[in-house]
Amino acid sequence: MKAQHNRQRVPAINDDDKSDAIFLSSRPTTEIAAALLGKQLRLQTTSGPLTAWITETEAYLGANDAGAHAYQNHQTARNRALWQPAGTIYIYQMRALYLLNLVTQVAGTPECVLIRGIEPASGVEQMQHNRPVPLANLTNGPGKLMQALGLDKTLNGQPLQKATLSLDLDHVRQPRQIIKSPRIGIVNKAEWTSAPLRFYVAGNPFVSKIGRKTIDSHTHGWQ
């Protein structure tokens, strides 16, 4: 794959598929990463559902991707979930933080999408109880959003399902514009360091490492 250095605009994507597993296996992982923007993540908790629109993702392309946990098909107890079918939840720990990934291809093809940012929709008070910070800093990063949702590794290796964590494909928002750029934190990986595999909603405040001047305070980048 030829690495590209500049941020690029890509067309917003409409998708009417109603099945988590089919949605997450119906096209290349890069397209899925873009298509997830505006889809609603839904977590069932004892105090009610927590929901949020996905605002930022990164694609990880398995055995050929030097930035991926499955590079060269390296399989361990930690990353075993990546070899499960599309719709499997892959959560790993990085220092004190947990990061949420969704497996995107058929069993045996260890590709996934990292959920890097979400915009809270419902259950905001519970999210701020879980992570007591101002709203602007609540879910604009992969470790932050997991703290706000109150998630650890318990769901690792389980399928997306309505009883726990799922995609609500009936309640979606349409980005005005999607930006793609290199992934964050992938260093010294040759062409994979600059490969444009990060996707985010232009102008949305719930995106990691975004300049304040680029934020659309009126629509948050949604149509």
Average pLDDT of 82-103? 97
Amino acid at 92: Y
Average pLDDT of 136-144? 98
- Is residue 51 helix, strand or coil? strand
Q: Residue with structure tokens 């997450």?
A: 24
Rounded Cα distance, 39 and 178, in Å: 13
Question: What is the DSSP pairing of strand 198-201 with strand 178-181?
Answer: antiparallel
Q: How confident is the model at residue 6 (pLDDT cuts 50, 70, 90)?
A: very low
Rounded Cα distance, 33 and 178, in Å: 11
Average pLDDT of 81-100? 97
Mean pLDDT of the chain: 92
151, two tokens: 């998630």
Specify the pLDDT at position 20: 86
Say how many residues make up the chain: 223
- Compute, in degrees rounded to 10, the torsion defined by CA atoms 28, 144, 135, 126: 100
Whether the predicted pLDDT of 5 surpasses 50: no
- The 10 Å Cβ neighbour count of residue 186 is 19
Average pLDDT of 144-164? 97
Q: Is 142 left (phi over 0), alpha (psi -120 to 50) or beta?
A: alpha
Specify the pLDDT at position 14: 43
Specify the pLDDT at position 19: 79
What does R_g of the chain's alpha carbons equal in angstroms?
16
In angstroms, how far is the first alpha carbon of the chain from the final one?
Answer: 32
